Chain A
């Protein structure tokens, strides 16, 4: 098959390995080592997409990260990814690429009518047009804009690829492997530093791959290969290609994106597709190089217009001609190198140079090769719709504000060079305030805020000899400070053609009566006229101009458009660029996939899962689990076709009638030891703790300093100076931090140690009138009578040779015990309890029944202790000591906390005794009142009372104390319910607490 634009000998591709791929449904052939862009260009394909706003035909413009146009939808290995840069993706067998932003096809795109309506799409079009009527926004405007705009289509399928994260630490991170990066990495590595060298492209060498230079009497590429080979062999160096350092964060945290799998045809199973590196570097050397900037001219977005360095790269790296009749348009010497490369391939370019006739090594060389140069010339406009066919050119007048003539010159591509822009993104991200260098008309790094140094072209050093000097010197000096070694290497000699200064010409004027679109930002379709409109309409700050016109806001971050945009603003405003300033550079430097950000944290690894030792038993017995933080807790044990509601009722009823068992391993457990432990608890809890005897448990409430209830739980005195504290499942971690805070910071004089033992103990709650019978059977040698083990008592028992802790505490309000055993024996204990309980009708119960039991008993939990309630609000004021001080006590004196009519917990029953009240319902006097309906309180917890066989809820309501007997409405706009309720006591079962003491 023909690769009409492929050269026979030139390039670094592997001609022995043909690769078949598809573009817009058509088959093409390229070679291993191609990018998608170079392979398409080799086949003479230029038209790759349609522009964002006007749907104008667009072709390739750059050869790497500089590419603004060629964003394709890529299908590979069953996944589809939008907005992939064709100039960066390596060609692999089976790639299917399609153009974006066009319908029905890139050749014939209906949206292109926008191009003819462009008068109606000025800057700020969206802001101006879609403002009113307001009601149109969601139904009409937004769907329309979404359909018309946007680039590719995100896949709705699950991404089956593997992504990874990696952490690395180094002395020196070098970002970019051009001459500056190679020399600095090499000299630092030779001086003993731990170095990471990162290169975005598959091939190392940067500009050395394309420039006609020698170092150490080797060609640029040969020297790069030699250095890389040596670096790879050094144990203190990590060399990474296909790796883009895209973010510079605090304390020299660099984030790098490595394409580990996209270039492999048969990727091994455990090789990730992409890898995200977090690199903490002591020093960062930014050798990110520079990007050529275009000169703006009429219809400069026509396919066939290239950056001149990109044209050179296509020849030198890929052996591809971007055109066979090139027109080169430049304001500086570097495009002459491109001309020479064309000439070497037998192609005759014509050069237009905006400068007046002059002489330099390169210019003379070109002249000697009989290449035609037209000085003081510029391109007025490109001709051609889907491809450059010719160009209108003209001789510039003296002050370069107009043309003396208008000629047509035949050409099939225009290679443009408007000089070089240092890639300062990472430096700027690091906090470096940039400064303007008017020698090169671009911003360069100024003073460092973090440990970073820019070297080479990224700081505006465009000369090889100086770049190497900087690289070797900086690599040595920076590493010396870290390693204290002193091995410096001599700087190799080098040779390149000398260049003379560029012309500050960046935009071709419009000839009289002509109205060509001259694009500044290709990706977002921002033309010179758009920026002029924004300025005319009064936008002054460059940040505002950017947002109003969307200049530089596309995925290419304005890499080729920023400076020209700033120039334009400066010219209109009669300022200079540094007065205009620049917009903010933010990470990521290039777009990265969501998959890489997520890494391995998907599916099972989305978050850590905590399972209790009894988990397998629950699973075997049809438990339906619920997440409690990271824990999996049985919500209910499903029997047959039971619903959640039915199961919870059954399980709760069985506790009230017989005996139930619940896995309470997840409760937070904190071991507290030390001679001052009692004093400490006395300060932490609101109630008194100094006199708790050994072998007794006590319920305690702890506050925050602002008087709000933080958590509750029981704490047991195991021995003289040893306590076992329990917390709620949700607050376990916070309570531990809270205790540590007071012990380490506020009262360091207290001799107390705390440590979490949540994972060390498995716990089972045994609840119900028959629980003592089960316990007696389990511990035949233990006296478990009410006298020997009363309510709030604690004993240690022997469970088949294992030490068990038995607490007589109750959350359900029934006679109940909690048995703890070393975690490894949790399942054993559980099975023994089930065995012993069989004759007493024991059944496991889940969190739903657990809630039912505690709600109808009026015990508060998370929904009541919601970070807004003080002890009074949840009827725990009886536990607040008047005698001693404790954390948060002073706040309880606050006026609002003591006002008449303060909110308080109450119980609710629906008048019809049938309707369940949705949690979160608001309590109001009149369900039909005008909105906003004054709210008296809210429903915090709801259940079906198994004791009374009707719904029951807890609510926190204004003046709850005096509301008993009143009737209100519980309204829930979300569930569309309004239920008439009666307010009753929050204790719906066993008011006197007889059962727990029985």
Chain B
């Protein structure tokens, strides 16, 4: 069970969170034309990197905030967590 530091609540066990997928995906703007390929990429295509990955987690059994986690997909090491309006470099 991972130990995740919610940027709002602090260290909590994985049990309190839901995984939310790739944290670098940006939804295309509303009311703008977009090619089939680009839309398809947004909806379906995700990388599955080995190593560092920025992903979204949702503190569903806590403050209900979504936030970013930088995690190693092999070792599960968590390097950083950040609020949505903060950058992870």
Interface residues, chain A, with chain B CB atoms under 8 Å away: 249-253, 278, 280, 431, 449, 683, 705-706, 733, 737, 740-741, 744-746, 748, 884-886, 890-891, 893
Contacts and interface: CB of A to CB of B under 8 A. Distances in A.
B48 interface: no
B39 A891 contact: yes
Contact of B76 (A250, A741, A884): A250
Contacts of A249: 1
Contact of A449 (B2, B3, B60, B75): B75
Nearest to A431: B75
Given A748-B84, A891-B43, A253 B3 contact: yes
Given A740-B66, A741-B58, 17 more contacts: A250-B1, A251-B1, A253-B1, A280-B3, A705-B42, A733-B60, A740-B58, A741-B20, A741-B66, A744-B65, A744-B84, A745-B56, A745-B66, A885-B30, A891-B39, A891-B43, A893-B36
Nearest to A744: B66
Nearest to B76: A250
Contacts of B42: 705
- B interface secondary structure, majority: loop
A891 B41 CA distance: 12
Interface of B: 1-3, 13, 18, 20, 27-28, 30-31, 34, 36, 39, 42-44, 56, 58, 60, 64-66, 75-76, 78, 84-85
Among A251, A737, A886: residue with most chain B CB under 10 A: A251
Contacts of A683: 30
13 contacts: A250-B1, A251-B78, A253-B3, A449-B75, A705-B27, A740-B58, A740-B64, A744-B66, A885-B30, A885-B31, A886-B30, A890-B39, A891-B43
B48 to A, nearest CB: 19
A737 B2 contact: no
A242 to B, nearest CB: 24
A10 B29 CA distance: 82
A897 to B, nearest CB: 12
Contact of B43 (A706, A733, A737): A706
A250 B1 CA distance: 6
B65 to A, nearest CB: 7
A312 B36 CA distance: 76
B66 to A, nearest CB: 5
Given A705-B43, A706-B43, A278 B30 contact: no
A745 B84 CA distance: 7
Given A737-B60, A891-B39, A278 B1 contact: yes
A431 B77 CA distance: 12
Given A737-B60, A891-B43, A250 B2 contact: yes
Contacts of A737: 18, 58, 60
B2 A251 contact: yes
A746 B65 contact: no
Nearest to A754: B64
B2 A890 contact: no
Among A741, A744, A746: residue with most chain B CB under 10 A: A744
A337 B35 CA distance: 80
A837 B30 CA distance: 49
A211 B75 CA distance: 40
A746 B39 contact: no
Contact of A890 (B3, B34, B44, B58): B34
Contacts of A251: 1-3, 76, 78
A870 to B, nearest CB: 13
A514 B58 CA distance: 68
Among A250, A706, A740, A748: residue with most chain B CB under 10 A: A250
Contacts of A744: 65-66, 84
Leading 10 A-B pairs by shortest Cβ distance: A251-B3, A885-B30, A250-B76, A885-B31, A744-B66, A253-B1, A746-B27, A890-B39, A705-B43, A706-B43
Contact of A280 (B13, B43, B44, B85): B13
B1 A706 contact: no
Contacts of B18: 737
A709 to B, nearest CB: 15
Contacts of A884: 31
A733 B34 CA distance: 31
Contacts of A253: 1, 3, 13
Contacts of A745: 56, 66, 84
Given A431-B75, A891-B43, A748 B85 contact: yes
A468 B56 CA distance: 46
A12 B66 CA distance: 57
A871 B78 CA distance: 41
B43 to A, nearest CB: 5
Contacts of B64: 740
Contacts of A250: 1-3, 76
A447 to B, nearest CB: 12
A748 B64 CA distance: 15
Contacts of A890: 28, 34, 39
A706 B84 CA distance: 24
Contacts of B60: 733, 737
A386 B56 CA distance: 63
Contacts of A891: 39, 43
A431 B13 CA distance: 20
Contacts of A449: 75
A253 B20 CA distance: 22
Contacts of B36: 893
B44 A706 contact: yes
B84 to A, nearest CB: 6
A251 B18 CA distance: 17
A741 B84 CA distance: 11
A880 to B, nearest CB: 15
Contacts of B66: 740-741, 744-745
B61 to A, nearest CB: 11
A386 to B, nearest CB: 48
A348 to B, nearest CB: 55
Contacts of B75: 431, 449
A885 B27 CA distance: 13
Contacts of A741: 20, 58, 66
A235 to B, nearest CB: 23
Contacts of A885: 30-31
A431 B34 CA distance: 45
Nearest to B56: A745
Nearest to B25: A745
A476 B76 CA distance: 28
A885 B20 CA distance: 24
Nearest to A169: B11
Nearest to B18: A737
A236 B1 CA distance: 25
Among B1, B18, B60, B85: residue with most chain A CB under 10 A: B1
A364 B75 CA distance: 51
A251 B72 CA distance: 12
Contacts of A280: 3, 13
Contacts of B30: 683, 885-886
A740 B85 CA distance: 15
A884 B31 CA distance: 7
Nearest to A742: B27
Nearest to A888: B43
B52 to A, nearest CB: 16
A893 B43 CA distance: 13
A735 to B, nearest CB: 13
A745 to B, nearest CB: 5
A746 B84 CA distance: 10
Contacts of A746: 27
A455 B66 CA distance: 41
A886 B31 CA distance: 9
A920 B62 CA distance: 39
Nearest to A755: B64
Contacts of B13: 253, 280
Contacts of B3: 250-253, 280
Nearest to A756: B64
A607 to B, nearest CB: 15
A383 B70 CA distance: 63
